[in-house]
Amino acid sequence: MQRFLLTVDKLSTLVGHAFSFLIVLLTLHVSWEVFSRYVLGAPRAWAFDGMIMLYGTLFMMAGAYTLSKNGHVRGDVLYGFFEPRTQATIDLILYFLFFIPGVFALTYAGYFYAAESWAINEHSNITADGPPVYPFKMVIPIAGAFLLLQGLVEIIRCVICLRDGAWPSREEDVEEVDVEKLKEMVHADEAMLDAGAVVRETAR
Protein backbone atom coordinates (compact mmCIF):
# COMPACT_ATOMS: atom_id res chain seq x y z
CA MET A 1 0.00 0.00 0.00
CA GLN A 2 2.83 2.39 0.89
CA ARG A 3 4.35 1.80 -2.54
CA PHE A 4 1.05 2.83 -4.18
CA LEU A 5 0.87 5.97 -2.03
CA LEU A 6 4.41 7.01 -2.89
CA THR A 7 3.88 6.21 -6.58
CA VAL A 8 0.92 8.58 -6.75
CA ASP A 9 2.96 11.15 -4.80
CA LYS A 10 5.73 10.83 -7.38
CA LEU A 11 3.22 11.25 -10.22
CA SER A 12 1.78 14.40 -8.63
CA THR A 13 5.30 15.71 -8.04
CA LEU A 14 6.30 15.01 -11.65
CA VAL A 15 3.24 16.82 -12.98
CA GLY A 16 3.78 19.74 -10.59
CA HIS A 17 7.43 20.08 -11.56
CA ALA A 18 6.66 19.87 -15.28
CA PHE A 19 4.01 22.58 -15.18
CA SER A 20 6.08 24.76 -12.83
CA PHE A 21 8.14 25.78 -15.88
CA LEU A 22 5.10 27.70 -17.08
CA ILE A 23 6.13 30.42 -14.61
CA VAL A 24 9.29 30.90 -16.67
CA LEU A 25 7.27 31.07 -19.87
CA LEU A 26 4.81 33.47 -18.22
CA THR A 27 7.68 35.72 -17.07
CA LEU A 28 9.17 35.80 -20.57
CA HIS A 29 5.75 36.44 -22.08
CA VAL A 30 5.00 39.38 -19.77
CA SER A 31 8.51 40.82 -20.15
CA TRP A 32 8.31 40.70 -23.93
CA GLU A 33 4.85 42.27 -23.92
CA VAL A 34 6.09 45.18 -21.78
CA PHE A 35 9.08 45.65 -24.10
CA SER A 36 6.92 45.33 -27.20
CA ARG A 37 4.30 47.74 -25.89
CA TYR A 38 6.48 50.51 -24.47
CA VAL A 39 9.66 50.25 -26.54
CA LEU A 40 8.56 48.95 -29.92
CA GLY A 41 5.07 50.47 -29.76
CA ALA A 42 3.59 47.19 -31.00
CA PRO A 43 1.39 45.61 -28.29
CA ARG A 44 -0.26 42.28 -29.00
CA ALA A 45 -4.02 42.12 -28.57
CA TRP A 46 -3.95 38.51 -27.35
CA ALA A 47 -1.23 39.03 -24.72
CA PHE A 48 -3.67 39.32 -21.82
CA ASP A 49 -5.44 36.10 -22.88
CA GLY A 50 -2.09 34.33 -22.94
CA MET A 51 -1.25 35.53 -19.44
CA ILE A 52 -4.57 34.26 -18.07
CA MET A 53 -4.20 30.85 -19.72
CA LEU A 54 -0.61 30.33 -18.61
CA TYR A 55 -1.26 31.34 -15.02
CA GLY A 56 -4.55 29.43 -14.86
CA THR A 57 -2.92 26.25 -16.16
CA LEU A 58 -0.06 26.59 -13.68
CA PHE A 59 -2.47 27.20 -10.81
CA MET A 60 -4.76 24.26 -11.61
CA MET A 61 -2.07 21.71 -12.39
CA ALA A 62 -0.25 22.51 -9.14
CA GLY A 63 -3.24 21.41 -7.04
CA ALA A 64 -2.39 17.70 -6.80
CA TYR A 65 1.30 18.48 -6.26
CA THR A 66 0.52 20.84 -3.37
CA LEU A 67 -1.84 18.29 -1.82
CA SER A 68 0.81 15.58 -2.07
CA LYS A 69 3.17 17.82 -0.05
CA ASN A 70 0.45 18.64 2.49
CA GLY A 71 0.87 22.26 1.50
CA HIS A 72 -2.68 23.54 1.14
CA VAL A 73 -3.81 26.24 3.55
CA ARG A 74 -5.43 25.05 6.77
CA GLY A 75 -6.05 26.42 10.24
CA ASP A 76 -2.83 25.19 11.85
CA VAL A 77 -3.32 27.25 15.03
CA LEU A 78 -5.09 24.35 16.76
CA TYR A 79 -4.60 21.53 14.26
CA GLY A 80 -0.87 21.31 14.90
CA PHE A 81 -1.43 20.61 18.62
CA PHE A 82 -3.73 17.63 17.99
CA GLU A 83 -2.62 14.01 18.15
CA PRO A 84 -2.12 12.33 14.73
CA ARG A 85 -5.31 10.26 15.13
CA THR A 86 -7.32 13.40 15.88
CA GLN A 87 -5.80 15.13 12.86
CA ALA A 88 -6.62 12.13 10.68
CA THR A 89 -10.21 12.07 11.93
CA ILE A 90 -10.71 15.76 11.12
CA ASP A 91 -9.07 15.38 7.69
CA LEU A 92 -11.12 12.31 6.85
CA ILE A 93 -14.39 14.03 7.71
CA LEU A 94 -13.46 17.11 5.67
CA TYR A 95 -12.35 15.02 2.69
CA PHE A 96 -15.71 13.27 2.51
CA LEU A 97 -17.83 16.34 3.29
CA PHE A 98 -16.13 18.91 1.08
CA PHE A 99 -13.13 17.70 -0.91
CA ILE A 100 -14.53 14.67 -2.73
CA PRO A 101 -17.91 16.25 -3.67
CA GLY A 102 -16.28 19.53 -4.70
CA VAL A 103 -13.46 18.08 -6.78
CA PHE A 104 -15.74 15.46 -8.34
CA ALA A 105 -18.16 18.22 -9.38
CA LEU A 106 -15.25 20.23 -10.78
CA THR A 107 -14.00 17.26 -12.82
CA TYR A 108 -17.44 16.15 -14.02
CA ALA A 109 -18.69 19.62 -14.97
CA GLY A 110 -15.27 20.59 -16.31
CA TYR A 111 -15.33 17.70 -18.78
CA PHE A 112 -18.60 18.86 -20.36
CA TYR A 113 -17.46 22.47 -20.16
CA ALA A 114 -14.31 21.59 -22.14
CA ALA A 115 -16.14 19.28 -24.55
CA GLU A 116 -18.61 22.03 -25.48
CA SER A 117 -15.73 24.45 -26.00
CA TRP A 118 -14.02 21.98 -28.36
CA ALA A 119 -17.28 21.34 -30.22
CA ILE A 120 -17.86 25.03 -31.01
CA ASN A 121 -14.18 25.82 -31.60
CA GLU A 122 -14.42 28.49 -28.90
CA HIS A 123 -12.10 31.49 -29.00
CA SER A 124 -11.60 34.27 -26.50
CA ASN A 125 -13.99 37.19 -26.90
CA ILE A 126 -11.86 39.65 -24.97
CA THR A 127 -10.34 40.78 -28.27
CA ALA A 128 -11.62 40.75 -31.84
CA ASP A 129 -9.26 37.97 -32.88
CA GLY A 130 -8.85 36.10 -29.61
CA PRO A 131 -6.87 32.86 -29.28
CA PRO A 132 -8.59 29.47 -28.88
CA VAL A 133 -9.58 28.68 -25.30
CA TYR A 134 -10.66 25.03 -25.64
CA PRO A 135 -7.15 23.66 -24.85
CA PHE A 136 -7.13 25.80 -21.71
CA LYS A 137 -10.58 24.58 -20.64
CA MET A 138 -9.45 20.99 -21.13
CA VAL A 139 -7.01 21.56 -18.29
CA ILE A 140 -9.96 21.75 -15.84
CA PRO A 141 -11.02 18.07 -15.93
CA ILE A 142 -7.40 16.90 -16.23
CA ALA A 143 -6.37 18.86 -13.15
CA GLY A 144 -9.49 17.62 -11.36
CA ALA A 145 -8.63 14.00 -12.16
CA PHE A 146 -5.11 14.35 -10.75
CA LEU A 147 -6.51 16.08 -7.68
CA LEU A 148 -9.07 13.30 -7.14
CA LEU A 149 -6.35 10.64 -7.40
CA GLN A 150 -4.17 12.45 -4.89
CA GLY A 151 -7.20 12.96 -2.66
CA LEU A 152 -7.79 9.19 -2.65
CA VAL A 153 -4.20 8.74 -1.48
CA GLU A 154 -4.71 11.27 1.31
CA ILE A 155 -7.85 9.47 2.46
CA ILE A 156 -5.90 6.20 2.61
CA ARG A 157 -3.22 8.00 4.63
CA CYS A 158 -5.89 9.12 7.10
CA VAL A 159 -7.12 5.53 7.49
CA ILE A 160 -3.55 4.27 8.03
CA CYS A 161 -2.95 7.00 10.61
CA LEU A 162 -6.14 6.04 12.47
CA ARG A 163 -4.94 2.44 12.52
CA ASP A 164 -1.28 3.02 13.42
CA GLY A 165 -1.41 6.30 15.34
CA ALA A 166 1.20 7.92 13.09
CA TRP A 167 1.20 9.50 9.65
CA PRO A 168 2.75 7.42 6.86
CA SER A 169 5.70 8.87 4.98
CA ARG A 170 5.43 11.11 1.93
CA GLU A 171 7.47 11.64 -1.21
CA GLU A 172 10.27 14.05 -0.26
CA ASP A 173 10.68 17.31 -2.10
CA VAL A 174 11.75 20.89 -1.50
CA GLU A 175 10.70 21.90 1.99
CA GLU A 176 9.93 25.25 3.53
CA VAL A 177 12.43 26.82 5.91
CA ASP A 178 12.08 25.29 9.36
CA VAL A 179 11.64 28.38 11.51
CA GLU A 180 12.39 26.56 14.76
CA LYS A 181 15.67 25.17 13.42
CA LEU A 182 16.54 28.61 12.10
CA LYS A 183 15.95 30.11 15.56
CA GLU A 184 18.12 27.41 17.11
CA MET A 185 20.93 28.25 14.69
CA VAL A 186 20.64 31.97 15.47
CA HIS A 187 20.70 31.32 19.23
CA ALA A 188 23.69 29.02 18.81
CA ASP A 189 25.56 31.75 16.91
CA GLU A 190 24.68 34.29 19.62
CA ALA A 191 25.92 31.92 22.32
CA MET A 192 29.22 31.48 20.47
CA LEU A 193 29.61 35.25 20.16
CA ASP A 194 28.90 35.69 23.85
CA ALA A 195 31.42 32.99 24.73
CA GLY A 196 34.00 34.68 22.51
CA ALA A 197 33.36 38.00 24.24
CA VAL A 198 33.85 36.38 27.67
CA VAL A 199 37.15 34.83 26.53
CA ARG A 200 38.40 38.17 25.26
CA GLU A 201 37.47 39.93 28.50
CA THR A 202 39.19 37.23 30.50
CA ALA A 203 42.33 37.53 28.38
CA ARG A 204 42.49 41.25 29.12
158 vs 165: CA distance, rounded Å = 10
DSSP string covering 48-98, please? Answer: HHHHHHHHHHHHHHTHHHHHHTT-S---HHHHTTS-HHHHHHHHHHHIIII
- Taking Cα atoms as reference points, which of 101, 114, 105, 102 lies closest to residue 140? 114
Span 55-71, mean pLDDT? 90
pLDDT of residue 28: 94
Residue 45 or 148, more confident: 148
Assign 108 a pLDDT band (cuts: 50, 70, 90): very high
Assign 6 a pLDDT band (cuts: 50, 70, 90): confident
Residue 159 or 191, more confident: 159
φ, ψ dihedrals at 132, nearest 5°: -65, 140
Instruction: Report the percent of the chain where pLDDT is more than 70.
Output: 81
CA 189 to chain centre: 35
92 vs 155: CA distance, rounded Å = 6
pLDDT 10s digits, 20-60: 999 999 999 999 999 998 888 888 888 888 898 999 999 99
165 Ramachandran zone, left/alpha/beta (phi>0; psi -120 to 50): left
Instruction: Report the percent of the chain where pLDDT is more than 90.
Output: 45
pLDDT of residue 146: 95
pLDDT of residue 183: 61
Span 135-158, mean pLDDT? 93
Q: Is the pLDDT of residue 72 over 70?
A: yes
Span 156-162, mean pLDDT? 92
136 vs 139: CA distance, rounded Å = 5
Assign 142 a pLDDT band (cuts: 50, 70, 90): very high
For 123, the 3-state DSSP assignment is strand
19 vs 96: CA distance, rounded Å = 28
pLDDT of residue 182: 59
For residue 98, count other CB atoms closer than 10 A to its CB: 10
Is the whole-model pTM more than 0.85? no
Distances (CA, A) of 135 to 18, 59, 129: 17, 15, 17
